[in-house]
Structure 1
Amino acid sequence: MASSSFATTQYTSEEFVESSGAILFDFSQAMTRVCLIHYLAKNEWLLAKGRRNCGEPRLEAALREVHEETGYPCRPYPVTMSTRAPPATETGSISDQARSYPGLTDPFMLTTREVEAKKAKLIWWYIAEVDKDALGKSGGIHGESDFVAAFLSCDDALQKLTFEDDRSILKRAINLVADSPGNSSL
């Protein structure tokens, strides 16, 4: 029996977990801001993410987790980005290469972590926009009790993040938003 020439690791459902997260932007002011969460127990500044529930679409999981952790309802924010996925209208064979498409709300990044021997975590990353109506609510917005959400300038958010991997994710999201039509506030 033949083997694939590609490096392959297979995980059973007991050995992996899927998470989804989103970079939450606020475009309502002159300067675009990004929402980070401050994990109080460890004094860490993070991007909002969490485990996907059984049967839950990845994008819905990302929006739900962001809302739960930050307290802010949000929606997907479409960007122009390159992907190896074929266009939605693909009817024939198309070569496997990256192409740029406008208006995508697909994941812009995937993080894989080996959390222990033969156990993995996959994190699908999306871009989201805060619901502008939630920003003006009196009484404040509250997410999960372990976290405090804060909107920061993009530069401040990049400096504040605790982990370098989160910085690279945020940098990519900022670049995609900046390069998408209609956004001049970055």
Structure 2
Amino acid sequence: MAQLAFPTQQYTSENFVESCGAILYDTTRQKICLIHLTVSDLWTLPKGRRNIGESRQEAALREVYEETGYKCHILPVDMRTRATIAGDAADASDVARISRDSVEPFMVTMRTLRDGQGVKVIWWYVAIMDKGACEMKGPGEEGVQTGLYSYEEAERLLYFETDREVLVAKMG
């Protein structure tokens, strides 16, 4: 049997977690929404596990709403991607190019689970608050507070370097 020429890891379903999250942007106030986990006193970007049968986009929007209480939608963005684009030839080159108004994830985080028992994959989107979201804010998740911050404040407050890298990759 042939072996691949590059490192490969595979995980059964019991050894991976798929999460989705978003940079939540309030275009009215030009602010970014962060969540504050009160028990651990950490500021992070909203994200959480995808449910079986749920699309990644649906999971990102649901998790953002559950954690922040803000209704939102995915913001179409221009991004460089290696994915094929509608209308591409079957043998399209595997090179990064611009996809206009994409609602696909712009970044993925791969995190090793505790004790090396697998991997957590986090798909990242950019989302914007729906019109009137601040006035109709839901309860949010217990033990989670929200705040709206300028880009600079958000970058300073984020506890995890990987969250800062997500923010900088799309907003910086």
Question: Shorter-chain TM-score: what band?
Answer: over 0.9
For 1:27, the equivalent position in structure 2 comes to: 27
For 1:9, the equivalent position in structure 2 comes to: 9
Residue 173 (structure 1) aligned with residue 148 (structure 2): no
Aligned-residue offset at 1:141: 4.0
For 2:112, the equivalent position in structure 1 comes to: 114
TM-score (norm 2): 0.95
Letter in 2 for 1:157: A
Letter in 2 for 1:167: R
Q: Residue 167 of structure 2 aligns to a residue in which SS?
A: helix
Q: Is the 8 A contact 1:11 1:118 kept in 2?
A: no
Deviation digits for residues 16-38 of structure 1 (CA, Å, limit 9, x no counterpart)? 01000011001113xx2100000
Q: Is the 8 A contact 1:36 1:46 kept in 2?
A: yes
Q: Residue 23 of structure 1 aligns to a residue in which SS?
A: strand
Letter in 1 for 2:121: L
Letter in 1 for 2:91: S
In structure 2, what is the Cα distance between the partners aligned to 1:163 and 1:126? Answer: 17
Aligned-residue offset at 1:118: 3.4
In structure 2, what is the Cα distance between the partners aligned to 1:160 and 1:39? Answer: 12
For 2:129, the equivalent position in structure 1 comes to: 130
Q: Residue 134 of structure 1 aligns to a residue in which SS?
A: coil
| Sequence identity (%) | 47
Letter in 1 for 2:3: S
For 1:49, the equivalent position in structure 2 comes to: 47
Letter in 1 for 2:19: S
Letter in 2 for 1:113: R
Aligned-residue offset at 1:172: 1.1
Root-mean-square deviation (Å): 1.1
Residue 162 (structure 1) aligned with residue 154 (structure 2): no
Q: How many residues align?
A: 171
Answer with 109-118 or 72-81: which moved more. 109-118
Residue 62 (structure 1) aligned with residue 60 (structure 2): yes
Aligned-residue offset at 1:67: 0.3
In structure 2, what is the Cα distance between the partners aligned to 1:48 and 1:125? Answer: 10
Letter in 1 for 2:166: I
In structure 1, what is the Cα distance between the partners aligned to 2:170 and 2:149? Answer: 15
Aligned-residue offset at 1:93: 1.2
